[in-house]
Amino acid sequence: MARDDDDELTGIHCRLDELLASRGMTLTRLSEIVGVSIVNLSVLKNDRAKAIRFSTLQAVCAALDCEVGELLVHRPAP
């Protein structure tokens, strides 16, 4: 699947899918906990987000009991 030029330039990868799996949590449950729509969380999970509110970032990290650096990682393009 091809990505936008912006995504390739940022090199930011969201590990939401991995963190959900390791905690046995569904995207639906996370949506209920943090009060963010499944659609918006799906955009984040699939690395299509252009931005994330700090309040959303804090809520997701609290729900998953993780640090920001565990959720968002920098993977520079080759």
Domains of the chain: 5-71 (1.10.260.40)
Q: Is the dihedral of CA 35, 4, 14, 22 positive or negative?
A: positive
Q: Please say whether the beta carbons of 44 and 14 come within 8 A.
A: yes
pLDDT in tens, 51-62: 999 999 999 999
Instruction: Please tell me which residue, 63 or 78, carries the higher pLDDT value.
Output: 63
Which one, of 14, 18, 23, 15, lies nearest residue 64 by Cα?
23
First to last CA, the chain: 17
- Residue 3 has a pLDDT of 45
pLDDT exceeds 90 at position 8: no
Alpha carbons 44 and 12: distance in angstroms, whole number: 11
pLDDT exceeds 50 at position 7: no
Which one, of 69, 50, 37, lies nearest residue 3 by Cα?
50
pLDDT in tens, 24-59: 999 999 999 999 999 999 999 999 999 999 999 999
